[in-house]
Structure 1
Amino acid sequence: MLINGEEKTLQQTTTLNALLAQLGYRAAFVAVELNGNIVKQANFGSTTITDADKLEIVSFVGGG
């Protein structure tokens, strides 16, 4: 699979929520594009991710 343009291997099918946690992201502070489509945060727990998918993950950062 591709995550932010970087090749990764996914050992098994998982949910987007579980993958984000595994990668160290806090789901409340990211936007995710899966295979060219934006995924609503409400659907992170029910969205299945496979090794054939392409993800773009953007983190929101506060500051000033």
Structure 2
Amino acid sequence: MSNQPDGLQIPIKVNGEARIVPPGLNIRQLLAHLGLDSGRVAVELNRVIVRKPDWDSTSIETDASLEIVTFVGGGAA
């Protein structure tokens, strides 16, 4: 039995905020869904850092908890 609920959306948390997203997304697809630049973020899924090479094979399940950190460039001129 799958832990995916019936319906077209699943609940997750992103940076502590409840979100509803389509089921079956991997990390890269979730970032695109959220409108985030996948080249400038680090992702932690359920308290485990997920390396970029693993994003396409890492599915987002119901009630997943993600921390997404966006890197910001810049510095002193």
TM-score normalized with structure 2 length: 0.77
Which one-letter code corresponds to 1:21 in the other structure? A
TM-score normalized with structure 1 length: 0.92
Unaligned runs of 5+ in 1: none
Q: Which has the higher contact order (CA 8 A, sep 6+)?
A: 1
For these two proteins, the number of residue pairs brought into alignment is: 64
Identity of aligned residues (%): 44
Root mean square deviation, CA, Å: 0.9
Unaligned runs of 5+ in 2: 1-11
4+ long deviations beyond 3 Å: none
1:1-59: CA deviation from partner (whole Å, max 9, x where unpaired) = 11000001123121110000111111121000000000001111111002210000000
Larger Rg: 2
